[in-house]
């Protein structure tokens, strides 16, 4: 008789936050939290953009866990949604953890989605989906996601595991950006795949960022210059008004520094039409 694995308690977290414009201020419009998902709203000056911080009180994710976040920016709202700490995906017994994030940005709103990195432990498995809907071309977005493979300070490499990261971005219902990244141990270990020149050329930390804003093409040279001074490999492209940034680094600290430089360059503005000017220096990677 073969012993079966015991049924363990799984973490469930769901959070929803909304921002709206009241006179010349951005204020909270909606707040819901359940399970291991919590939201905190740091104190700020009255004229500062709104800010919400996501906390996973379970301390990390593993197989069967599910974390779900929805954020909404009403017309004219300006706010950042970030996380308190890096997310951790622990060793799995076989299944995947699920992360589902949805952003809804109304006309003339400016949305920043800036979670800290997701750290994949050896043997960890997760699927993450980011769905973004912008009402029309007057809605503005800066979104960034990053993944670190293994705990470098612990000498850890990812010999086994699975990552499936899926982006879908729509403006006025039209798909403007679709991306999927998958790394699995079905054949080779994730470590060996990351070492391949066509995959990551030995990088252990990767990031994707997108910017959608009027006249954003004016920022391409500025962003390329900011990243060229960092110890990473990166590319910045612009297609149909969507700026896409890819970054690879052997050391997570180098990627973190590069993303901070990138965000500094974006919020410093590229002219009168930059909707992110006035957000101030992002605190996302200052830990």
- What count of other Cβ atoms lies within 10 Å of the Cβ of residue 197? 7
pLDDT band at residue 9 under the 50/70/90 scheme: confident
Q: Which helix (H) or strand (E) holds 221?
A: helix 220-228
Flag whether pLDDT at 153 surpasses 80.
no
Range of weakest confidence among 5-9, 45-49, 146-150: 5-9
Of 181, 198, 192, 195, residue with least CA distance to 146: 181
- Collapse the DSSP code of 200 into the 3-class scheme (helix H, G, I; strand E, B; otherwise coil) and give the result: coil
Residue found under tokens 């470590």: 191
pLDDT at 287: 45
Across 236-243, average pLDDT: 89
Domain spans of the chain, in order of start: 23-37+47-267
| pLDDT tens track for 154-186 | 778 888 999 999 999 999 999 999 999 999 888
pLDDT band at residue 283 under the 50/70/90 scheme: low
Report the DSSP beta bridge partners of residue 177.
169
| pLDDT tens track for 93-135 | 888 999 999 999 999 999 999 999 999 999 999 999 999 999 9
Mean pLDDT of the chain: 90
- Measuring CA to CA, how many Å separate 41 from each of 24, 81, 258, 260? 19, 10, 26, 22
Whether the full predicted model's pTM is greater than 0.85, yes or no, is yes
Residue found under tokens 């795949």: 193
Report the DSSP beta bridge partners of residue 89.
61, 120
Residues 114 and 262: beta-carbon distance below 8 Å? no
Q: Give the integer Cα–Cα distance in Å for 240 and 242.
A: 6
| Two tokens, residue 209 | 């960022």
């Amino acid at each position: 008789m073969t012993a079966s694995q015991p049924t363990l308690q799984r973490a469930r977290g769901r959070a929803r936050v909304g921002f709206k414009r009241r006179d010349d201020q951005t204020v909270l419009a909606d707040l819901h939290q359940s399970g291991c998902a919590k939201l905190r709203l740091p104190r700020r000056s009255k004229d500062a953009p709104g800010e919400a911080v996501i906390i996973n009180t379970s301390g990390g994710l593993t197989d069967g866990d599910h974390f779900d976040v929805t954020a909404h920016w009403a017309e004219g709202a300006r706010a950042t949604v970030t996380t308190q700490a890096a997310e951790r995906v622990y060793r799995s017994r076989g299944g995947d953890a699920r992360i589902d994030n949805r952003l809804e940005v109304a006309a003339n709103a400016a949305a920043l989605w800036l979670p800290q990195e997701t750290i994949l432990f050896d043997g960890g498995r997760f699927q993450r989906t980011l769905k973004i809907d912008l009402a029309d071309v007057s809605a503005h977005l800066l979104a960034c996601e990053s993944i670190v493979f293994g705990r470098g300070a612990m000498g850890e490499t990812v010999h086994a595991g699975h990552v499936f990261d899926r982006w879908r971005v729509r403006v006025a219902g039209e798909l403007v950006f679709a991306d999927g990244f998958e790394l699995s141990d079905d054949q080779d270990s994730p470590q060996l795949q990351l070492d391949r020149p066509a995959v990551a050329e030995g990088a252990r930390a990767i990031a994707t960022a997108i910017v959608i804003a009027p006249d954003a093409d004016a920022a391409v040279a500025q962003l390329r210059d900011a990243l060229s001074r960092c110890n990473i490999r990166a590319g910045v492209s612009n297609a149909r008004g969507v700026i896409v940034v890819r970054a690879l680094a052997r050391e997570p600290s180098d990627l973190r520094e590069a993303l901070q430089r990138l965000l500094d360059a974006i919020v410093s503005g590229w002219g009168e039409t930059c909707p992110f000017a006035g957000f101030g220096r992002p605190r996302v990677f200052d830990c």
